[in-house]
Amino acid sequence: MIADTRIPATRTIHPKILYFGTPVVLLTTVNEDGTSNITPMSSAWALTDRIILGLGEGGKGLLNLSRDPDCVINLPSADLWHQVEALAPLTGVNPVPTSKAAQFHFARDKFAAAGLTPLASDCVRSARIAQCPIQIEASVQSIQMTGDPVRFAIVETLVHRVHVHEGLAQSDEHVNPARWNPLIYSFRHYFGLGCELGKTFRAQV
C-alpha cells in the first residue's frame, strides 16, 4: 500500500484530561436556603428536549440536584470567559472537600463573586443568569452514579422553557446561529468560535 503523505502519522499518548472541546454551561441549582449556586461545567449535551449533564461527586451542583430537581442550564457567550474563570476556583460546598482544598475555596454567593445578576425563572426555583444569552429552565429526571475511582453522575434533565437574549432569536422557534458565539472549553483552555481567549487556573500547558 502506498502511504498518503497528506495524512499525518499518529502517536499514542496518555492525556491527563480528555475535555476535547464542548460549550461551557453555568448550571444554577437550588441551595438549602433557596438561593442559587452556580456550577461551571462543560460535560453537557442535548437531544430533543433532554439535556445530559456530567457532574462530579461531592460538588454542590450535584448535592443540590439530588435534593431539588430544579436547575437552569445557562449558556455563556465567549465574552463572559473572565466571569466563568472567576467562578472556576470556587465551590458551594462548606467545608471544601479535602480532595479540592488545595485549589478551591468556598463561596456562598457565586453571583456576587463573579459579578453576575440573578433573574427569577418561570418554571423552576433556581435563578437564571441575566448575562447569559441562552437560559434553559429544566428539571432532573434521573441521576446515575458511575466512575471508578473518580465517581461522577450522569444527570438527565427535561427542558421546560428556553429564554434567549432578544438579538439572538431568529424567530419564535429558532436561535440565529450566526449570532451565537458559545464559550468553548477545550483541554482546559477557553475559545470562542475563533481564536483562543485564555486558560483556566488548573491548566498545565
For ligand FMN, the closer CB: 96 or 169: 96
196 contacts 187 by C-beta, under 8 angstroms:
no
Question: Distances in Å between the alpha carbon of 107 and those of 68, 78, 89, 110?
Answer: 20, 24, 9, 6
For ligand FMN, the closer CB: 99 or 176: 99
Residue 81 binds ligand FMN (CB under 6 A)? no
Element (H, E) at 30: strand 25-30
For ligand FMN, the closer CB: 43 or 181: 43
Among 26, 30, 41, 134, binds ligand FMN (CB under 6 A): 41
Residue 64 phi/psi, 5° resolution?
A: -65, -45
- Spatial separation of the C-alpha atoms in residues 35 and 138, rounded to whole Å: 17
Residue 93 binds ligand FMN (CB under 6 A)? yes
Residue 35 binds ligand FMN (CB under 6 A)? no
What is the footprint of ligand FMN within residues 47-76 (CB under 6 A)?
A: 54-56, 59-61
**One-letter identity of residue 83:** Q
Residue with cell 461551557: 24
> What's the grid cell of residue 188?
482546559
> What's the grid cell of residue 193?
468560535
Helix (H, G, I), strand (E, B) or coil at 62: helix
Please identify, among the stretches 9-17, 90-98, 140-148, 191-199, the one whose residues bind ligand FMN according to the rule CB under 6 A.
90-98
Q: How many residues bind ligand FMN (CB under 6 A)?
A: 21
Residue 185 binds ligand FMN (CB under 6 A)? yes
Among 23, 40, 69, 182, binds ligand FMN (CB under 6 A): 40
Where does this chain bind ligand FMN (CB under 6 A)? 24, 37, 39-43, 54-56, 59-61, 84, 88, 91-93, 104, 185, 200
